[in-house]
Amino acid sequence: MAHYAMVIDTRRCVGCHSCTVACKVHNELPVDMIYNPVTTVGPIGVFPDLHMVHIPLLCMHCENTPCVDACPTGASLRREDGIVWIEEKKCVGCKACVMACPYGARIPNQKKGIVQKCDFCSDRVDQGKVPRCVQSCHQKARIFGDLDDPNSEVCKLINRFHAIRLLDELGTKPSVYYINGLGVQMR
């Protein structure tokens, strides 16, 4: 069984937010919901040696899922391939998962009264396609693949660049890795 993961190369990301827009369009999200924000750190340094880093954020599809562990209805689930998703008809909008998620990846949908989140575009992944944010990234800053396949691009990039995971110290074991080539404090 595959273990889907994403590598985000922050050296390539230019902060265009096209992934944010593509995600909103694909998931038909209301105006106040964003699964896929892109934050900016910087500018850092002293002129003329200035630099800034854009950090796309999304659900980290953790191996140890605090959100799934907190869900009292069993609506939050983790598939065998590592994708964490919400069975919407079971969700009552208690927000226990929102409070449990260290990454702010779960967003209450006020209109539907439930919580929603990025599911790595599981509908596309099941058809053998990559998530919409990966497809829309013209800088190829997002790479999606199978972590269990040693020949996959994600596996090679993680090993080659010693990619890091956000808030790794919490023990959540995220499936989203970041290549941080500019030395910006990301932990």
Partner 1 sequence: MSHKHDGWGWMLAVDFFFAGMGGAMLVIAGIGDLFLGDGQTSVLGNFAGAVFIAVGACFLILELGRPFQAFRVFMNPKTILTFGAWNMTLAIIAGILFASFGITLLPWSKLILLRKFFAAFCLIFGLVVATYPGALLARNKARPFWNGPGIMVLFFLSSFITGMAGHILCGYIIGESSWFIVNGYIVGSFSSLVLQDLPHLTAILLLFQLIFWSGYIWIKWSGSTEREAKAAQRWISGDLSASFKLGFILLGTIVPIVLLLFTNPVVHSVGACLALLGGMIMRYLVVRAGEDRTWLPGELKYRSRLPVGNEDFLKAWKS
**Do the beta carbons of residue 152 and residue 160 sit within 8 Å?**
no
- What minimum distance in Å lies between the beta carbon of 41 and partner 1? 4
Nearer to partner 1, 53 or 121 (CB): 53
Name the burial class of residue 127, with classes exposed (0-12), middle (13-18) and buried (19+) by CB atoms within 10 angstroms of its CB.
exposed
Nearer to partner 1, 125 or 177 (CB): 177
Spell out the SS3 assignment of the chain. CCCEEEEEECCCCCCCCHHHHHHHHHHCCCCCCCCCCEEEEEEEEECCEEEEEEEECCCCCCCCCHHHHHCCCCCEEECCCCCEEECHHHCCCCCHHHHHCCCCCEEEECCCCEEEECCCCHHHHCCCCCCHHHHHCCCCCEEEEECCCCCCHHHHHHHHHCCECCCHHHCCCCCEEEECCCCCCCC
- What minimum distance in Å lies between the beta carbon of 95 and partner 1? 6
Nearer to partner 1, 54 or 145 (CB): 54
Nearer to partner 1, 152 or 172 (CB): 172
- What minimum distance in Å lies between the beta carbon of 114 and partner 1? 6
- What minimum distance in Å lies between the beta carbon of 186 and partner 1? 5
Nearer to partner 1, 101 or 155 (CB): 101
Nearer to partner 1, 118 or 125 (CB): 118
- What minimum distance in Å lies between the beta carbon of 113 and partner 1? 3
Applying CB under 8 A, the residues found at the interface with partner 1 are: 31-32, 34, 37-41, 53, 55, 57, 66, 69-75, 90-96, 98-104, 107-110, 112-115, 166-167, 170-172, 184-186
- What minimum distance in Å lies between the beta carbon of 39 and partner 1? 3
